[in-house]
Structures are given as C-alpha cells and as structure tokens.
Amino acid sequence: MPSSAGPATEPAVDHRKGPRRRGEELERAILQATLDELAETGYAALTMERVAARARTGKAAVYRRWPSRAQLVLDACKLGKISDVDLPDTGELRGDTLALLRHMAITMASPLGGIMRGLLGEMTRDPELAELIRERVHTVRPSMVHVVLERAVERGEVEPWVLTSRRATVATDLLRNQFLLFGAPVPDEFIVDVVDDIYLPLVLNPAPGSGSGSGSGSG
Amino acid sequence: MPSSAGPATEPAVDHRKGPRRRGEELERAILQATLDELAETGYAALTMERVAARARTGKAAVYRRWPSRAQLVLDACKLGKISDVDLPDTGELRGDTLALLRHMAITMASPLGGIMRGLLGEMTRDPELAELIRERVHTVRPSMVHVVLERAVERGEVEPWVLTSRRATVATDLLRNQFLLFGAPVPDEFIVDVVDDIYLPLVLNPAPGSGSGSGSGSG
DNA sequence: ACGTTAAAGAACGGTCAGTTCTCTAAATGA
DNA sequence: TCATTTAGAGAACTGACCGTTCTTTAACGT
C-alpha cells in the first residue's frame, strides 16, 4: 500500500468499479456486447477489443472463454436465436414454402445475413470451426423444410420419398446461393419464380423415369 | 554481410538492386507474386506486405496500382485465368453437364476455391467490390452453362425458352451452394445426383402445366 | 545534359491480435 | 474472522499488418 508519495507507480484514482461481475454473469454480458457490436458494425468490423470494451471488461476475460472471434460470434448468435419460428400452416405446400422462403429472406437482409456471410468466409481458415458452422446452417434451417414437407406428405401432395431426396432442399439451397452471390434484399420475384418454376415441379410430380435414387438420401 | 563495424546510419551495402523494373513489367511481377502467395497461403492469409516483399518491391508501388487486397486478388485471378476451358461435346446434355460440373468441382478444390470463398466474404465490406466479384462469378461461369445448353437446343434435346429461364443455372447454383457450405472436395455422387435427379428433369421435360413464366412456351 | 517520373525502401502512426503482468475484488474454507 | 484461492480489471507489451509519407536513386523523355 504505497499511501505515501509514490513517485509514478501510483494509480491516482484507485477505487475501481463497484460490483465486479464474475462467471456466468460476465459471460452473458460479453455475449450481449457481441450481439450489440454485430448489430452495430457487422461481423467484418467486429473486434475482440471492442467487444471487451463494450462489455466493460478486458480482452483477457474474453480470451479465457473463447479462442477466436468466430467462436464467440457463433455462441452469441445461439443466444440471440429467434425461436423455431411459427410457420403457419397455409393448407398447401406452395403457401407454406413461400412463407418459409420469405422468412429466410428477411433474416438474410438483417445483420444476421452479414454474419452468415462472414462465417462462411472463415471456414477456410479453421476447419474445426467449419464443422460448427455447418451444424448450425444445415441442422437448424432445413428442419423447417422438413416440417413443411411432412405436412405436404400427410396431405397427399407429396410422395414420402421426396423427404429424403436431394429435391427436398432445392428451394432453400437456391435462395442461399442467390443471397451469397447477389446479397440482400432478395427480390420477392426470385422467391416466387423458384417455387413455381423449379421447386414445386420437382417435389409435386413423381420423377418421370427417375431411378428414384431416394435411397441415396444424404442421411 | 557488413564486414566492417559500420556505425548505424550507413546502409552497409548501398548499391541497390541491378535493373529496376517499371510500369508494366513491375505490374506483372506484382500480380505474379500475388498468385504465388495465393497458391501458398490462400486468400485469408494474404497480405499486401508479403506480396510486395515477394515481388521485391515496396508496398507503395502496390498501393499506387490497387486500392485494396481484394481488387489486387481479383486482377491476379484474371491473369491466371484458365482459358475458357475445352468442354468436350459429348453428344448429349447429360455428358456435357457432368463434364462442366466436374470441371467446376476441381476448380473449387484448388486454391481458387478458397479465393472464391474469401471474396464472397468481402462483399459485405465493400459494395463496389461486390459488383466486380459478381461480374466474374456470374458472367464467366454461366457462359459455359450457356454453351452447353445451346448445344442441347440445337440437338433438339431442350426447348429454347429454357435458355433464359431460371432452370438453366440450377445445376451450377446447387454445386456452388454445396461447396460453400460443405467445402471441397465435392463428392462425385453429389454431382451425379444433381444432374440426374434435379437438373435433367427440369430442363429436358417441358414444364408440366408450368406457367413457364420465363418465355411464352413457344413450342 | 537535364528535368520528370516513379521505384526502392525505410519509417511512421495507427489498429488489432494475443499474451502476460499487477492489482484487487469476490468466493471459499478453516 | 482471517487467510487462501480464484478470477476480473486494466494496462503493458510483442508482433503483424495497414495505409501513408519521406528520401534517395534509377530509368526515361526531350
């Protein structure tokens, strides 16, 4: 305790902040700061330094928990996840699919779109991270496709083998491709075209002479 | 190699390099250095500093010509472009399409794949650059799709309106999506599945009852 | 020969990545 | 209650790279 005239090492004001956060509380604060930074500056401009500053902590506390920017962002997104979405049952496959694609298009036009794009870019750098990203993109989204298709199967609109064929995800795949290449917003005309000219013909009509390679389902 | 005890300010060896490159010669050297760096370390790890060093020049000479890393890489790729490819005419659409997709898959598994991924990630940062990237990705590649489809039209395999419909690029779009999500190498099984289960049914069969919104189904 | 242009290359101020200090507040346990 | 352990705050630090600017000098044009 250098109460006397410390030459230079003395920190002037020494009463640090009041309550010091720890453990889970601090963790949530960091994740929230990450979400705020993402919304404000986007994925590309996000830095660990700014996140730490925004959470009113130090970089060390951040690095103690997450090894990289991408991992941090990935966890933050999990926190801010929109629930599984309330896709209304419109009574026919066309309406359900349009609703699903439009919902995705809106998401892509939000800051989440830039995050998705940025994370895809990082897959080259870190193969381990790539696995995590794929899980989120491939597991979360197509589950909604599955729901929509299962309804259609129950209605008799669609034959069951379509569920496990590559045709099932063509609409969402094409939408994702469009977004990655041309950015947001995705014109509604594109969505309607894909559904009417490509997707519905593929899943409503039994493959003419197709070997019904359905068995090859990706699994 | 400073044999004598040079004090400090003296540059020891002062006869600068022999022939000093200028203008176009230097430009090509920089682009070549960029290609070498890309092949060696990939897009993500490429820095202007390393490119300049590899080209045995200074950063200033690089920045005098290109405003950003992405622009430089884009130009370097133009240099190293594989010619328009010799897509063999296999006599039927299926063979031509398989050849085209397999060629693309090989490209994606090369360093060029990582470059493509990295550039797509930068589209968020710089909208002006995004335009350039789109031109290359969307103009160069689908031109090959067009060639393949035109042959099929001449053979009578495909109706002309397909050329301008969204169906035309479905195969390449799905391949690109697969690569961006799951990386390389793209399994050949995927390519065959896409062609047989999705692409050929779409372009070979006149849309059954489809409004054929694209072209007024002339035939 | 002379002036203009531009390359070589060092240096600079700046940002950020990660790491490693010290100091101190909170939790823990006897 | 007090001593010990744990971990956050925050700064310092090394190191990479960015983009700019400076000086020196080679190449080029007239």
Architecture of domain A23-79: Orthogonal Bundle (1.10)
Is residue A187 left, alpha or beta, with left meaning phi > 0 and alpha meaning psi from -120 to 50? beta
Mean pLDDT to the nearest integer, B108-117: 86
Alpha-carbon dihedral sign for residues A207, A208, A212, A218: negative
Distance A22 CA to D7 C1' (A): 8
Mean pLDDT score across all residues of chain B? 83
pLDDT band at A162 (very low <50, low <70, confident <90, very high): very high
CB contact under 8 A, B198 and A202: yes
Distance CA B205, CA A208 (A): 9
Q: What integer is the mean pLDDT of B62-89? A: 83
pLDDT of the residue at B219: 28
> Is it the case that residue A4 has pLDDT exceeding 50?
no
Do B202 and A199 meet the contact criterion of CB atoms below 8 Å apart?
no
Residue whose structure tokens are 């390393």: B50
Question: With b meaning 16 or more CB within 10 Å and e meaning fewer, what string describes A133-143?
Answer: beeebeeebbe
For residues A137-141, average pLDDT: 66
Q: A187 or B142: which carries more pLDDT confidence?
A: A187
Burial A85-113 (b: 16+ CB within 10 A, else e): eeeeeeeebbebbbbbbeebbebbeebbb
Stretch B147-175: mean pLDDT:
96
What is the pLDDT, as a whole number, of residue B208? 53
Select from A121, A211, A213 the Cβ nearest to the Cβ of B120: A121
Mean pLDDT lowest for which of A20-29, B7-16, B122-131, B150-159? B7-16
Place of tokens 């299926």: B94
pLDDT of residue B7: 36
Q: How far is B207 from B171, CA to CA, in rounded Å?
A: 17
The matching CATH number, chosen from 1.10.10, 1.10.357, 1.25.40, 1.10.20, for A93-209 is 1.10.357
Sorted by where each begins, the domain ranges of chain A are 23-79, 93-209
Evaluate whether the domain defined by B93-204 bears CATH number 3.10.450: no
Question: Distance in angstroms, CA of A49 to C1' of C16?
Answer: 7
pLDDT at A33: 95
The predicted structure's pLDDT at residue B11: 39
Strand C: protein residues, Cβ closer than 7 A: A 1, 9, 11, 14-16, 18-20, 22, 47-50, 58-60, 63, 68-69; B 11, 16-17, 20-23, 26, 56-61, 64
**Strand nucleotide closest to residue A15 (CA to C1'):** C24
What does each C-alpha distance from A161 to A96, A155, A207, A217, B204 come to in angstroms?
19, 14, 11, 9, 22
Give the whole-angstrom CA distance, residue B152 versus residue B156.
Answer: 6
**pLDDT at res. A21:** 86
% of chain B surpassing 70 pLDDT: 80
